[in-house]
């Protein structure tokens, strides 16, 4: 019979290093109507380039308490470096105290007035990956939150 051998290799990085890609800059398509704003405390400059946010799922587990699902955001890889640094600090170096606050703001059709917001507390980064959308490398950042509050006008 045939004998198969396997080698298991485990790599544990001490740090990550961001290497700036040699690609063209992302420019949003003309007339694209995003109608939202998403910010992570301390990463506002990078957040200005977010293209999309996946649905943020929450289910009520008690009065005023929600269990939130992991969600993701997408932004051009050229602007994702602050998120890579956060991942390095929080995940690779294990500094879980580096959780942040976040805010998802829903804008009116003219994009000049907020009509509601979702406050995210205990926001942490889980993972990141690179995908290609319209020939542009997009960093997909996966995050979780520990608390979620909905703010709607009365």
Distance CA 145, CA 125 (A): 9
Q: What is the mean pLDDT of residues 72-78?
A: 94
pLDDT in tens, 85-131: 999 999 999 998 899 999 988 887 766 678 888 889 899 999 999 99
The string of DSSP letters for 88-104 reads: IIIIIS--GGG-EEEEE
* Contact in structure between 26 and 136 (CB atoms under 8 Å): yes
What's the pLDDT score for residue 75? 95
pLDDT at 60 exceeding the cut of 80:
no
* Contact in structure between 42 and 99 (CB atoms under 8 Å): no
Q: Which two tokens stand for residue 18?
A: 């961001």
Beta partners for 7? none
Q: What is the mean pLDDT of residues 10-20?
A: 52
Distance CA 105, CA 82 (A): 21
pTM, entire model: 0.72
What's the pLDDT score for residue 102? 94
pLDDT at 78 exceeding the cut of 60:
yes
């Amino acid at each position: 019979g045939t004998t198969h051998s396997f080698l298991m290799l485990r790599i544990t990085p001490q740090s990550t290093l961001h290497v700036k890609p040699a690609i063209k800059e992302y420019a949003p398509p003309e007339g694209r109507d995003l109608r939202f704003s998403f910010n992570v405390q301390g990463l506002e400059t990078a957040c200005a380039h977010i293209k999309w946010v996946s649905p943020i799922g929450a289910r009520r587990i008690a009065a005023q308490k929600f269990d939130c699902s992991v969600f993701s955001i997408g932004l051009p890889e050229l602007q994702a470096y602050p998120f890579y640094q956060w991942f390095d600090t929080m995940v690779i170096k294990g500094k879980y105290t580096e959780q942040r606050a976040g805010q998802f703001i829903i804008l009116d059709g003219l994009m000049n007035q907020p009509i509601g917001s979702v406050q995210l507390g205990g926001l942490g980064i889980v993972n990141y990956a690179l995908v290609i959308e319209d020939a542009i490398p997009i960093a997909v950042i996966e995050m979780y939150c520990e608390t979620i509050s909905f703010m709607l006008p009365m």
